[in-house]
């Protein structure tokens, strides 16, 4: 009989009583699951703690083996053969998930029931599953406890292209040209073993609903604002460190495990279950978890600080200015809080329940370059339609283009048309310097049949960024304006060193303006840049997570090792560059098999 009651704490001098934690029902990710532990007793303090926590998160602990068991959790010292022997079975039932002891705590960390197929949960002595296999308990319930996930435009629009015409071939010399996308898909489906990158993709998907930083790029400028929050937090971590030192070895391990749960549930005396900011706090907490997994020291500190500040509020903090008024919350975090409150509300809203304001906000959010802050400002100023904005609102040049071409920019661009834009730019670029190259990136490179915009990577063998930028900004871009292809220049502030140009273009004889991004990439960085600008975003996050797990760091410039962590990082640099030029080599160094772009649709 499932025993959900807190029973079985054996007596003995060294037995620590496991404190049961009250987890709100909606966070009880294991509800409905039946766990069988191996060994199935709570004699060991660590296992006792594991069982207790699993129960806190809604699992039933089954004492006797039966077909109602959903998961068998095996101690690390035991093997698959031990399990079979104990159960008196020759094979293990396919309908039951067999995992090692890390599984429950990792699920709790990710707030979802993770796939039991991940290699890190594999019980010693078990054969590696194939990549295409799915877990008996794949994640149907996994996202139930998470925020409503926005439908990915990717999934709606992206189908691998059947065509791999000559132009595509020319741009992707290293790929399996000649094979149709279908064939390569089939190749992938057959027999590739699940690897560490599959695990990371799954992790990245688990946080897909989170509003991470726009480019999640660890760019240096993100550290500046955050550091203002650092001082008071270091005393907190010093205190934690001191506390840790006084624990004996066994307690230390138990405490570390417990810490995973308690830090998620961290409450201080002033917090309570009815805090009006609970939802925001939960999302920020998940972002904090994500950033601590990627060793993002500065953001971790800032998020921790913001969470504890929000916990002390008795009123709902919904806008940027309300958030900014709270000590400990800087501008970026204030924006993030406003975004979480609004977008979460918008996403959850049934169309039928949406107020006219919600519809207007959604409309304004579609204006190119307008984030939640700008959109809600327009709403607060009383504008109700695009016509209002056009006629009455003081708009920047970029916003005006966004409003005037609202319809154009909301249309998907057929693959052929993406190619045509690429060809026009390539012709102009090669007229300026025949050795310069134009590679179509983004969803096009992943084989999409249509794209949201045109992403063009501009590079040249042996060239430095200054050369490419100068050629582009002084010669090519003005030329493309003169010939009537480029229509407008949009904000080009996203990268400090000016390696990106955003604008709008139109084919000769065409009607629609399209969004076009030109990315200037020096030869030394082309491999890392191609990974980044090919995406998709989940794939990029998973590659970064993987790098971080291996003590390295990946960004759009390269893969770095000897990365310095901790408060000094900003001063001491990003580490030693190991590879930036060769896309395949980056996969190799990370220890995962090469994924052609078509296989990066996560
Ligand atoms: N990118 C990312 N994270 C983001 C935004 C972008 O890693 N938050 C990377 C991956 C994307 C690439 O930049 O593939 C280009 O960005 P786009 O927004 O143009 O996205 P896609 O080209 O993938 O899709 P779309 O067809 O909508 O343009
Ligand atoms: Mg794109």
Specify the ligand 1 atom closest to the Cα of 534: 14
Assess whether pLDDT exceeds 90 at residue 88: no
Domain 269-352 fold? DNA polymerase; domain 1 (1.10.150)
Identify the nearest ligand to the CA of 449 by its number. Answer: 1
Question: How many angstroms separate the alpha carbon of residue 552 from the centre of ligand 1?
Answer: 23
Q: Do domains 269-352 and 356-410 have the same CATH topology?
A: yes
Identify the nearest ligand to the CA of 442 by its number. Answer: 1
Q: Which residue of 160, 415, 442, 450 sits with most ligand 1 atoms within 8 Å of its CB, as the best mutation to test the pocket?
A: 442
> The domain 356-410: what is its CATH number?
1.10.150.20
- Domain boundaries in the chain? 269-352, 356-410, 413-521, 529-599
Q: What is the pLDDT of residue 351?
A: 65
Contacts of 164 (CB under 8 A, 6+ apart): 177, 178, 179, 180, 181
CA–CA separation, 8 vs 31, rounded Å?
A: 20
Q: Sort residue 301 into left (φ over 0), alpha (ψ -120 to 50) or beta.
A: alpha
Specify the ligand 1 atom closest to the Cα of 517: 19
Question: How many angstroms separate the alpha carbon of residue 5 from the centre of ligand 2?
Answer: 52
Q: What is the pLDDT of residue 17?
A: 61
Tally the residues of the chain.
602
Question: How many angstroms separate the alpha carbon of residue 445 from the centre of ligand 2?
Answer: 9
Looking at per-residue pLDDT, the higher value among 3 and 367 belongs to: 367
Specify the ligand 1 atom closest to the Cα of 455: 19
- The partner residues of 147 in beta bridges, in order of sequence, read none
pLDDT, tens digit, 9 for 90 and up, residues 58-79: 999 999 888 889 999 999 888 9
Torsion of CA 108, 109, 111, 116, to 10 degrees: -70
Q: Candidates 3.40.30.10, 3.40.50.620, 3.40.50.10420, 3.30.460.10; correct CATH number of 413-521?
A: 3.30.460.10
Whether 402 lines ligand 1, by a CB cut-off of 6 Å, is: no
Q: Cβ(487)–Cβ(506) under 8 Å?
A: yes
Where does the pLDDT of residue 238 fall: very low under 50, low under 70, confident under 90, or very high at 90 and above? very low
Question: How many angstroms separate the alpha carbon of residue 285 from the centre of ligand 2?
Answer: 30
Residues serving a catalytic function are 336
Q: Which residue of 410, 445, 455 sits with most ligand 1 atoms within 8 Å of its CB, as the best mutation to test the pocket?
A: 455
Tell me the pLDDT of the chain averaged across its residues: 77
Assess whether pLDDT exceeds 60 at residue 249: no
H/E stretch holding 224: helix 221-227
Q: What is the pLDDT of residue 214?
A: 55
CA–CA separation, 296 vs 301, rounded Å?
A: 9
259-268, 424-433, 577-586: range with lowest mean pLDDT: 259-268
pLDDT, tens digit, 9 for 90 and up, residues 557-597: 999 997 766 554 443 456 899 999 999 999 999 999 999 99
Asked if CATH classification 3.90.1150.10 holds for the domain at 529-599, the reply, yes or no, is no
Whether 155 lines ligand 1, by a CB cut-off of 6 Å, is: no
Q: Cβ(211)–Cβ(202) under 8 Å?
A: no
Whether 451 lines ligand 1, by a CB cut-off of 6 Å, is: yes
Q: What is the pLDDT of residue 6?
A: 38
Kindly list the protein residues that place their beta carbon closer than 5 angstroms to ligand 2, a single-atom ion: 442, 453, 455
Going by alpha carbons, the residue nearest to atom 12 of ligand 1 is 533
Whether 215 lines ligand 1, by a CB cut-off of 6 Å, is: yes
Question: How many angstroms separate the alpha carbon of residue 498 from the centre of ligand 2?
Answer: 19
pLDDT, tens digit, 9 for 90 and up, residues 157-195: 333 333 333 333 333 323 333 333 333 343 344 457 788
């Amino acid at each position: 009989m499932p025993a959900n009651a807190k029973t079985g704490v054996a007596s003995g001098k060294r037995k620590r009583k496991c404190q049961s934690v009250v987890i709100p029902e909606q966070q009880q990710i294991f509800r409905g699951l039946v766990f069988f532990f191996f060994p199935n007793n709570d004699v060991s303090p660590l296992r006792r703690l594991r069982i207790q926590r699993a129960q806190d998160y809604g699992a039933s602990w089954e004492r006797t083996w039966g077909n109602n068991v959903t998961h068998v959790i095996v101690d690390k010292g035991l093997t698959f053969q031990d399990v079979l022997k104990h159960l008196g079975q020759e094979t293990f039932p396919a309908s039951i998930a067999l995992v090692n002891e890390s599984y429950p705590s990792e699920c709790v960390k990710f707030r979802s029931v993770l796939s039991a197929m991940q290699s890190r949960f594999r019980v010693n002595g078990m054969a590696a599953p194939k990549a295409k296999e799915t877990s008996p308990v794949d994640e149907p319930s996994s996202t139930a406890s998470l925020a409503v996930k926005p439908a990915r435009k990717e999934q709606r629009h992206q189908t691998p292209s059947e065509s791999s015409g000559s132009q595509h071939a020319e741009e992707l010399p290293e790929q399996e040209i000649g094979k149709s996308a279908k064939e390569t898909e089939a190749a992938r489906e057959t027999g590739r073993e699940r690897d560490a990158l599959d695990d990371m993709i799954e992790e990245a998907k688990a946080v897909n609903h989170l509003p991470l930083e726009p480019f999640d790029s660890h760019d240096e400028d993100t550290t500046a604002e955050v550091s203002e929050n650092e001082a008071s937090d270091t005393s907190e971590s010093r205190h934690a460190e001191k506390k840790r030192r006084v624990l004996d070895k066994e307690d230390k391990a138990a405490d570390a495990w417990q810490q995973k749960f308690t830090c998620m549930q961290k409450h201080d005396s002033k917090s309570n279950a009815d805090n009006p900011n609970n939802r925001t706090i939960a999302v920020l907490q998940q972002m904090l978890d994500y950033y601590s997994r990627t060793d993002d020291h500065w953001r971790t500190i800032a998020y921790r600080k913001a969470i504890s500040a929000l916990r002390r509020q008795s009123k709902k903090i919904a806008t940027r200015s309300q958030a900014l008024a709270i000590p400990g919350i800087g501008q970026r975090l204030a924006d993030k809080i406003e975004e979480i409150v609004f977008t979460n509300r918008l996403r959850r809203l049934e169309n039928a329940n949406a107020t006219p304001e919600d519809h207007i906000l959604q409309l304004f959010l579609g204006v190119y370059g307008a984030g939640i802050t700008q959109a809600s400002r327009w709403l607060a100023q009383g504008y109700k339609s695009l016509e209002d904005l056009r006629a009455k609102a003081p708009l920047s040049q970029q916003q005006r283009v966004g409003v005037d071409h609202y319809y154009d920019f909301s249309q998907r661009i057929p693959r052929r048309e993406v190619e045509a834009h690429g060809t026009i730019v390539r012709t102009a670029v090669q007229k300026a310097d025949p050795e310069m190259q134009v590679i179509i990136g983004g969803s096009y490179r992943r084989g999409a049949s249509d794209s949201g915009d045109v992403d063009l990577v501009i590079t040249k063998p042996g060239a430095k960024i200054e050369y490419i930028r100068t050629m582009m900004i002084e010669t090519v871009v003005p030329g493309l304006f003169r010939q009537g292809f480029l229509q407008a220049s949009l904000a080009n502030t996203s990268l400090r060193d000016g390696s990106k140009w955003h604008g709008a273009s139109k084919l000769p004889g065409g009607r629609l303006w399209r969004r076009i991004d030109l990315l200037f990439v020096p030869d030394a960085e082309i491999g890392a840049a191609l990974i980044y600008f090919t995406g998709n975003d989940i794939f990029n996050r998973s590659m970064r997570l993987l790098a971080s797990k291996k003590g390295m760091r990946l960004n759009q410039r390269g893969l770095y090792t000897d990365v310095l962590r901790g408060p000094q990082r900003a001063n001491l640099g990003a580490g030693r560059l190991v590879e930036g030029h060769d896309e395949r080599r980056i996969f190799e160094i990370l220890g995962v098999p090469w994924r052609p772009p078509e296989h990066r649709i996560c």
